[in-house]
């Protein structure tokens, strides 16, 4: 819209703020967005689930505790990527980023195919990875799969030597020419040496002479302090960093040991892999029951306000003044716009917002929950100590922990709303300006409106100002539904049921009737004690019988201004757990005589 004229007559006797125009698309008066669920793990012991679903009686029986049960192999980066580790499992891999204060991060599971320039056999399975430590192999890695190997340049993502049989190309004994478990290069006095591991045996290989110079031999014969738990072999090994840069970390299942090459002995372990690399936990999910809570984010418009003067102009007595009001155009799509929940209601924006809340959650708590291959806005732990152990106040404990999760979720949503507010402020700051009426505008980047201010009826001159308007948004986070879900990391085994069918789900995944009753009671307690943020009282999301979510549950409340005067009445589905009222600068403008606004 350009070159449109608006005439406003200013009466000094009855001055009034006059909105001129709105030049940006605005949200509907009220919208609602369905967020991804909040997943609350109920902390049910793995022993409560049958073996067919991944249940186990003790940690040693976990499927991830077996050889190659957690990851098939892994390799640490070198040079500028020494703080990164690549973990492989079957056709997938993940990138691990070591951070200070145990704030480690990971990628999600990624397919090898399409991300590594490897032939099909290697995209389906990588048994071992060996980094080159001496010229001319520095910066290269060897990948082993079955009875083949190749040499790869990770910097250029190119295969240097294509797939070749191990036998005949490496001076290894026959039993080490296929299905290797691990390969690791030496450092210091062992530079140029490689140790290959398979089962409970190993060989020492001279990379310069291309020959096996010791072995095969049992690992425990030469590696001092080798624990019995690792006697049947290792999954992979890599070096540490910093004070542990000469320490080899050997992994088996979900545990590792640390070997000091200088001291020539095991100096730590076996301990859980998550003790050293905490973010790995979400890639080794145990069977678990979750309360999946569903939330909606409702957005309403509040009050308009003054966001600051753009310009001012004097109107002589008995005259009319014409000016341009010019606004910079905004790009249709950019990174900030695509993630700002205040200025768009598309599903992509809502999903991006939920992902930001999830990342905020992980950063605040310095840890990651089990992934289970699902998509959520937030992770939480009910930490239901005693839920299946006969603790007298287990129901009360779960209610309290669930309240904490909801409160943390509302705070994380609030932080992201504040981030969206700051983005909007930055975009709209100094977006509007006033020019003389003969000013030319750039049709590609600007929108212009001709404004005529009529002071012809007054014998006195008048000053007027143009200012940008602010918009208050009222964002309401409301719990609207819940379901019980069983997950064990295998999408095919996932079972979900609405609360009305909770007992049927429990019958299918939990064998002990006592445990089933404990879980049902705790879930009911959590959903009948939801704190309403508008009244700070507890309300129930369930029907009167406590057997199903009541779709008629609503929250109605009055919004007031800072003086306690009513702004508007709001009614939403479900129970409100959080309300935010950000005030955002807009590209909209208003005009007023000086002293009025």
d(CA 323, CA 314): 12
> Got the DSSP string for 162-222?
EEEESBTTB---GGGSSS--EEEE--GGGTTEEEEEETTEEEEEETTTTEEEEEEEEHHHH
Q: In what side-by-side order are the strands of the sheet with 236-239?
A: 236-239, 247-252, 255-260, 265-272
Q: Which residue has the tokens 């806005």?
A: 377
Residue 578 contacts residue 38 (beta carbons within 8 Å): no
- pLDDT of amino acid 169: 93
- pLDDT of amino acid 11: 44
State how far the alpha carbon of 243 is from the alpha carbons of 16, 246, 247, 248, 260, in Å.
71, 8, 8, 12, 11
d(CA 245, CA 258): 11
- pLDDT of amino acid 326: 72
Residue 217 contacts residue 202 (beta carbons within 8 Å): yes
State how far the alpha carbon of 550 is from the alpha carbons of 63, 149, 298, 581, in Å.
39, 60, 19, 28
Entry pTM: 0.73
- pLDDT of amino acid 13: 45
Q: 208 exposed, middle or buried (CB, 10 Å; 0-12, 13-18, 19+)? A: exposed
d(CA 237, CA 219): 14
Domains of the chain, start order: 4-39+287-593 (no CATH), 63-283 (2.110.10.10)
Distance of CA 562 to the CA centre of its chain: 36
- pLDDT of amino acid 361: 63
Contacts of 102 (CB under 8 A, 6+ apart): 278, 366, 367
d(CA 70, CA 61): 13
Distance of CA 524 to the CA centre of its chain: 29
- pLDDT of amino acid 5: 37
- pLDDT of amino acid 364: 54
d(CA 290, CA 521): 14
> Got the DSSP string for 433-446?
EEEETT----TTTE
Q: What is the pLDDT of residues 146-181, one digit of tens each?
A: 999 999 988 888 889 999 999 999 999 999 999 999
Contacts of 127 (CB under 8 A, 6+ apart): 72, 73, 144, 145, 146, 179, 180, 181
Q: What is the pLDDT of residues 37-79, one digit of tens each?
A: 998 888 888 999 998 998 998 888 888 899 999 999 999 988 7
Residue 190 contacts residue 213 (beta carbons within 8 Å): no
Average pLDDT, 10 consecutive residues per value, the chain (597 residues): 39 44 48 87 89 88 90 89 92 92 86 91 93 84 95 87 93 95 91 94 93 93 94 94 90 95 92 90 87 93 82 80 72 49 74 77 51 71 56 63 88 87 79 74 71 77 80 92 91 91 96 91 93 96 96 95 88 96 84 57
Give the containing element (helix H, strand E) for 50: none
- pLDDT of amino acid 383: 61
- pLDDT of amino acid 256: 96
Residue 91 contacts residue 123 (beta carbons within 8 Å): yes
> Got the DSSP string for 532-565?
ETTTTEEE-SB-TTSSSB-TT-EEEEEEE-TTS-
How much is the mean pLDDT over the chain? 83
Give the largest CA-CA distance in the chain: 108
d(CA 440, CA 71): 65
Q: 365 exposed, middle or buried (CB, 10 Å; 0-12, 13-18, 19+)? A: middle
> Got the DSSP string for 80-127?
GGTTEEEEEETTEEEEEE--GGG--EE---EESBTTB---HHHHH---
């Amino acid at each position: 819209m350009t070159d449109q004229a608006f005439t406003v007559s200013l009466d000094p006797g009855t001055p009034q703020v006059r909105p001129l125009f709105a030049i940006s698309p605005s949200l509907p008066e009220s919208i609602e967005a369905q967020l991804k669920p909040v997943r609350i793990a109920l902390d049910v012991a793995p022993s409560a689930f049958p073996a067919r679903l991944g249940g186990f009686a003790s940690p040693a029986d976990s499927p991830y505790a077996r050889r190659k049960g957690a990851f098939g192999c892994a390799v640490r980066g070198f040079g500028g990527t020494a703080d990164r580790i690549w973990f492989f499992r079957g056709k997938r891999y993940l990138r691990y980023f070591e951070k200070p204060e145990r704030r480690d991060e990971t990628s999600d599971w990624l397919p090898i195919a399409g991300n590594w320039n490897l032939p099909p056999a290697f995209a389906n399975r990588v048994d071992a990875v060996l980094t080159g430590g001496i010229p001319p192999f520095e910066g290269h890695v060897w990948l082993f799969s079955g009875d083949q190997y190749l040499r790869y340049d990770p910097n250029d993502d190119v295969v240097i030597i294509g797939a070749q049989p191990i036998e005949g190309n490496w001076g290894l004994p026959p039993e080490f020419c296929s299905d290797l478990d691990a390969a690791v290069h030496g450092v210091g006095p062992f530079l140029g040496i490689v140790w290959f591991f398979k089962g409970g045996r190993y060989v020492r290989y001279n990379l310069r002479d291309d020959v096996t110079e010791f072995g095969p031999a049992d690992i425990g014969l030469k590696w001092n302090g080798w624990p019995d738990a690792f006697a049947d072999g290792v999954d992979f090994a890599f070096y540490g960093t910093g004070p542990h840069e000469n320490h080899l970390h050997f992994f088996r299942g979900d545990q590792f040991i640390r070997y000091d090459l200088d001291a020539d002995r095991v100096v730590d372990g076996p301990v859980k892999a998550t003790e050293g690399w905490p973010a790995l936990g979400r890639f080794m999910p145990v069977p678990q029951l979750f309360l999946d809570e569903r939330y909606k984010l409702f957005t309403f418009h509040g009050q308009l306000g003054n966001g600051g003067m753009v310009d001012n102009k004097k109107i002589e007595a008995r005259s009319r003044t014409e000016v341009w009001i010019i606004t910079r155009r905004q790009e249709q799509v950019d990174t900030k716009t695509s993630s700002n929940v205040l200025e768009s209601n598309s599903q992509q924006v809502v999903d991006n917002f939920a992902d930001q809340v999830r990342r905020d959650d992980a950063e605040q708590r310095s840890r990651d929950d089990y992934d289970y291959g699902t998509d959520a806005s937030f992770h939480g732990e009910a930490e239901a100590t005693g839920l299946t152990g006969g603790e007298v106040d287990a129901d009360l404990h779960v209610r309290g922990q669930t309240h904490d999760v909801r409160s943390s979720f509302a705070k994380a949503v609030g932080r992201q709303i504040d981030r969206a507010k700051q983005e909007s402020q930055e975009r709209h700051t100094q977006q509007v300006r006033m020019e003389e009426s003969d000013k030319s505008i750039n049709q590609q980047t600007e929108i212009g409106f001709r404004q005529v201010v009529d002071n012809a009826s007054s014998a006195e001159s008048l000053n007027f100002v143009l200012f940008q308007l602010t918009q208050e948004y009222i964002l309401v986070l409301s719990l609207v539904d819940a379901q019980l879900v069983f997950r064990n990391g295998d999408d095919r085994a996932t079972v979900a049921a609405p609360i009305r069918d909770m007992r049927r789900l429990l019958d299918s995944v939990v064998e002990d009737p006592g445990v089933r009753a404990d879980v049902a009671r705790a879930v009911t307690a959590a959903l009948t004690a939801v704190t309403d943020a508008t009244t700070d009282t507890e309300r129930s999301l369930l029907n009167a019988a406590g057997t199903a979510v009541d779709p008629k549950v609503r929250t109605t409340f009055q919004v007031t201004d800072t003086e306690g005067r009513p702004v508007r009445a709001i009614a939403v589905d479900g129970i409100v757990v959080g309300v935010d009222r950000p005030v955002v600068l807009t590209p909209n403008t208003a005009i007023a005589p000086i002293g009025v606004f």
